[in-house]
Structure 1
Amino acid sequence: MKINVIFHSIYGHIYRMAEAVAEGAAEVKGSDVKLMQVEEMLSEEVLDKMGATETKRMFSHIPVATVDDLAKGDATIFGVPTRYGMMTAQMRAFLDATGSLWQKGALVGKVGSVFTSTATQHGGQEATILSFHTTLLHHGMIIAGVPYSVPGISVMDEVSGGGPYGASTIAAPDGSRYPSENELSVAKFQGRHVAEITKKMVE
């Protein structure tokens, strides 16, 4: 079974979460995990002004996803940072190019899942994931989240992302905070959970 992990990241927070998601998915026997990123729309000049040139180089080796990769996968786990409670324009542009897949029903019955990051604790993590689900539902995908059987989404002794909608991390307004061990554990579980669901469906 083919599991896609497709992400957009600028400062590396979502990339780190995507690695954990892919690691979890790869733990399920029979899974073929492909880690990809969506095409960056910002120029090198703009990225440099944003202070993102160095962080983007961390994952410049990751291949760019195409809409055909979605059709080839049995499941796709999407990772995207939040912009005002919604996905980034880069991810939106990628999804907006999937009209041909929608017309053919190419993604109907495939598993879809989402993880995200925000600068603050209440920066729109749930809104971003839930609004992302709308596109997946239009494609007829089966949505998987993170069940409350995962202790990491209910921690109270530390500041942490993660909830029933999907894994998440808090980057801090200046981007200085990277995913915690708890957040990475939830992300890893999400990848494994999606792969386990997918395996049952394709067997």
Structure 2
Amino acid sequence: MYIHVEKLAQEIRKGAASVDMVSLPNYGWSVPGTLQEDLLSKMSAPPKSDAPLITSNDLAEADAFVFGFPTRFSMMDAQFKAFLGATGGLRRTQQLAGKPARIL
């Protein structure tokens, strides 16, 4: 995860935690990567976040979402696209219906 995205997420998290009756897990999540480690090192990619990897089940259990990701040519990154693509079962069964979502 890029540092600026992680910092924005931490600030949003602080704001949400300051609201009465809002319960948050003690961490944020990261999506699984799609590139091999040797390729990442050749690209001088930033170090991976120590945040746990999110799963479709985590989305099903959450009440709301705030997603953050770096953009490339004004598009979300491939890793996040792949993660969203893997949530088709949740959408088919309406498990995400009515849950507020935001993008930072």
After TM superposition, the score normalised by the length of structure 1 is 0.47
Quote the residue 1:90 is aligned against: 79
Q: Please report how far the alpha carbon of residue 32 of structure 1 lies from its aligned counterpart in structure 2 after TM superposition.
A: 2.0
**1:78·1:114 contact (CA, 8 Å) conserved in 2?**
yes
The one-letter amino acid paired with 2:98 is G
User: C-alpha distance in 2, partners of 1:33/1:70?
Assistant: 13
- Report the number of matched residues: 102
Query: For residues 15 and 37 of structure 1, what CA distance do their matches in structure 2 show?
Result: 10
Q: Following superposition of structure 1 onto structure 2, how do residues 89-128 of structure 1 map, counting pairs within 5 Å?
A: 89-115=78-104
TM-score, with length taken from structure 2: 0.89
Where structure 1 has 5 or more consecutive residues not aligned to the other structure, the ranges are 1-8, 116-203
Conserved? CA contact 1:78–1:113, under 8 Å: yes
Runs of 4+ deviating beyond 3 Å: none
| Percent of residue pairs identical | 39
1:44 aligns with 2:37: yes
Q: Which has the larger radius of gyration?
A: 1
Q: Equivalences for 1:177-192 in 2 at 5 Å?
A: none
* Aligned CA-pair RMSD: 1.3
After superposition, the C-alpha distances for 1:40-59 in whole angstroms (9 at most, x for unaligned) are 1122112212222xx424x2
- Residues 1:28 and 2:19 are matched in the alignment: yes
After TM superposition, the structure 1 = structure 2 runs for residues 64-83 of structure 1, keeping only pairs within 5 Å, are: 64-83=53-72
Tell me which protein shows more strand as a share of its residues.
Answer: 1
